[in-house]
Structure 1
């Protein structure tokens, strides 16, 4: 078992990584929560695998459990679905002393966390992430959100959970595509982390099956790095922006793909392309792009997209929620493990990118 402690000024909690821990969820929750009502939120894919098991374990430990299963997919991250969950809690007479548990991937975690953070101005919350993407990234750090209009995560909060339980065994039920998708975030962490053991671990991954064999180590390194970043910058005003490596370009094409690209696939493309642009400018050392691309391609992740560098692509960049005033911060690599931020004025984004695209 690995335990990563995330300690903030007004919140401390454990992130426990252990194969099989989902079978011990009742005992683990008992250590931090008194008996109470619990809303257990899952989706239609995860519920059929783990919902009954988790519900029974919680009930055996003294919790009154109400389950709510939302449709799988990004469409459930909406204010309408959040309102449905509020109604369930009101119907069951939930109070501020009760809690919400998210059982699923990033969509469920974001949605349930948002509901927990806003119901009665905030009630207790626990994350049980079941996808690699959620285990290494979205379940750690306290970001919650729903989508609004055409934008991802436009309505949300920073709201830390009381506990995160990560069971690498749940990855065995994912398709190879979604194991690889989550692994894109692991590559992002390794490329930006000043951890001498992390990138060599990435280079040992030569095929998708290797991700499962090394899952506990990959998750642990990722969570340790993300926890360190969050402890230094909880609200993403400075250092935490480095976690957007690959995301600025990736979010734009993810939205334009309209569901045909998974989040991690878009991030993989974004990492390769931002390295290519900054390498062409002489700001990223020669050879870094090739290293990133090799590890991305090794597990079948995409490295390019026809959606890149189109008029709609540039329009989407200018609307990115990470825009700071009149500029957009691009995260690039001075070297592996040395991320940096390069601000570009909104009106100059296309010229900044296009000058290198046209010359390569």
Structure 2
């Protein structure tokens, strides 16, 4: 096995690690390892004594994991209620938010109590936003059950819902009090879901960690089959994201680098109507990250070989890398440009992209000419 890139954390990678998100009085731990769902009660009670909880989850995750979490909370003396919503990206809506908020208030939970998000990124975003607005801000615990959520959406405090005009356009920054990432739960994921989560790991490495990307190149097969490499990949991703969040919590500067691949990816998701049968978020990120590298190469910012290496890495784990690989009706440039124009990273009408000068050399590019993006996408749609 290749050597793991050096990093610091509070504990060894196995069997359980602690990564700290340093935000002063609002800092929190990310606990990573197998079996954490059974220890959730003691982990929460130790940090948040006396709380009651609302567990927000979806029908799929509830059937797999709710009972174990409920038993763990009861053993720690944590009274709780369950709030179940449908699975899928369309759940990030005003209608579902209203229902979740109403149930939290109906359970008479107080500002000092907590909302526990048990599920993937959709649940984390929805439950986190609900906790941000009920009683002007309740406590919040992330318990991500997907790889994508464990390495990305559960860390950093971004919460929200989608608008028909774009993804994640309605929301708030609201940091969790604790993140519990049980890596054993990843065994319940389908190969497609796991691959989609892996896209965010690779994206994190491609931002500014070329050594980590080389390690992923050497160990991606072991990450997919399980074992210490899988846990280590989650840990390294959390260390990287925690550092970015600590430096720029509200995305006023360098945190925007985490959006590598997302401007293209979000436009693709919106273009298919957030239809998970056609495209899930991680697949959009994979295509978007490849597009960002190819666009950078077209602009002469990086070598074509860097874009080819990026594309080969995603393709090797079974992720789509081209727009033409999205099933269903072909997409068109006008629809994609409309989605890009609604992206949160638009500033006063100018397009902002995360581009790259090579593997692990991403940077924020402001004032990108829309005509250049449109010409590039026109070419890409024929590939």
TM-score tier after normalising by the smaller chain length? over 0.9
SS at match of 2:22: strand
Q: What CA distance in whole angstroms lies between the structure 1 residues aligned with 2:334 and 2:86?
A: 33
* Residues 124, 144 of structure 2: 8 Å contact kept: yes
* Residues 176, 208 of structure 1: 8 Å contact kept: no
Q: Tell me how many residue pairs correspond in the alignment.
A: 357
* Residues 179, 211 of structure 1: 8 Å contact kept: no
Between 283-292 and 215-224, report the one with greater CA deviation: 283-292
If the length of structure 1 is used for normalisation, what is the TM-score? Answer: 0.94
- Once the 2 structures are TM-superposed, how far is the Cα of residue 211 of structure 1 from its aligned partner? 5.6
* Residues 333, 378 of structure 2: 8 Å contact kept: no
Q: What CA distance in whole angstroms lies between the structure 2 residues aligned with 1:310 and 1:356?
A: 6
Determine the structure 2 residue equivalent to 1:282. Answer: 300
- Once the 2 structures are TM-superposed, how far is the Cα of residue 194 of structure 1 from its aligned partner? 3.1
Corresponding residue to 1:351 among 372, 378, 381: 372
Name the CA shift for 1:282/1:195 in 2 (closer, same or farther; >3 Å). closer
**1:322 to 2:355 alignment:** no
Q: Deviations over 1:21-70 (max 9, x none)?
A: 11111111111111222101111111111101101111111111100111
When the two chains are superposed, the root-mean-square deviation of aligned CA atoms in Å is 1.9
**Structure 1 unaligned regions, length at least 5:** none
Q: 1:251-262 to 2 correspondence within 5 Å? A: 251-258=266-273, 259=275, 260-262=278-280
Name the CA shift for 1:330/1:160 in 2 (closer, same or farther; >3 Å). same
Q: What CA distance in whole angstroms lies between the structure 1 residues aligned with 2:210 and 2:175?
A: 25
Name the CA shift for 1:61/1:312 in 2 (closer, same or farther; >3 Å). same
If the length of structure 2 is used for normalisation, what is the TM-score? Answer: 0.89
Determine the structure 2 residue equivalent to 1:66. Answer: 81
Corresponding residue to 1:24 among 39, 61, 75: 39
Q: 1:72-111 to 2 correspondence within 5 Å? A: 72-111=87-126
Q: What CA distance in whole angstroms lies between the structure 2 residues aligned with 1:358 and 1:96?
A: 52
Q: What CA distance in whole angstroms lies between the structure 1 residues aligned with 2:117 and 2:32?
A: 16
Q: What CA distance in whole angstroms lies between the structure 2 residues aligned with 1:249 and 1:10?
A: 36
Corresponding residue to 1:33 among 20, 44, 48: 48
**1:179 to 2:194 alignment:** yes
Determine the structure 1 residue equivalent to 2:214. Answer: 200
**Structure 2 unaligned regions, length at least 5:** 1-15, 325-329
Name the CA shift for 1:322/1:38 in 2 (closer, same or farther; >3 Å). same
- Once the 2 structures are TM-superposed, how far is the Cα of residue 89 of structure 1 from its aligned partner? 2.1
Between 350-359 and 111-120, report the one with greater CA deviation: 350-359
Determine the structure 1 residue equivalent to 2:58. Answer: 43
Q: What CA distance in whole angstroms lies between the structure 1 residues aligned with 2:362 and 2:19?
A: 23
- Once the 2 structures are TM-superposed, how far is the Cα of residue 284 of structure 1 from its aligned partner? 1.4
Q: What CA distance in whole angstroms lies between the structure 2 residues aligned with 1:58 and 1:183?
A: 30
Corresponding residue to 1:132 among 147, 158, 172: 147
**1:248 to 2:266 alignment:** no
After TM superposition, the runs of 4+ consecutive aligned structure 1 residues lying more than 4 A away are 205-209, 355-360
Name the CA shift for 1:278/1:111 in 2 (closer, same or farther; >3 Å). same
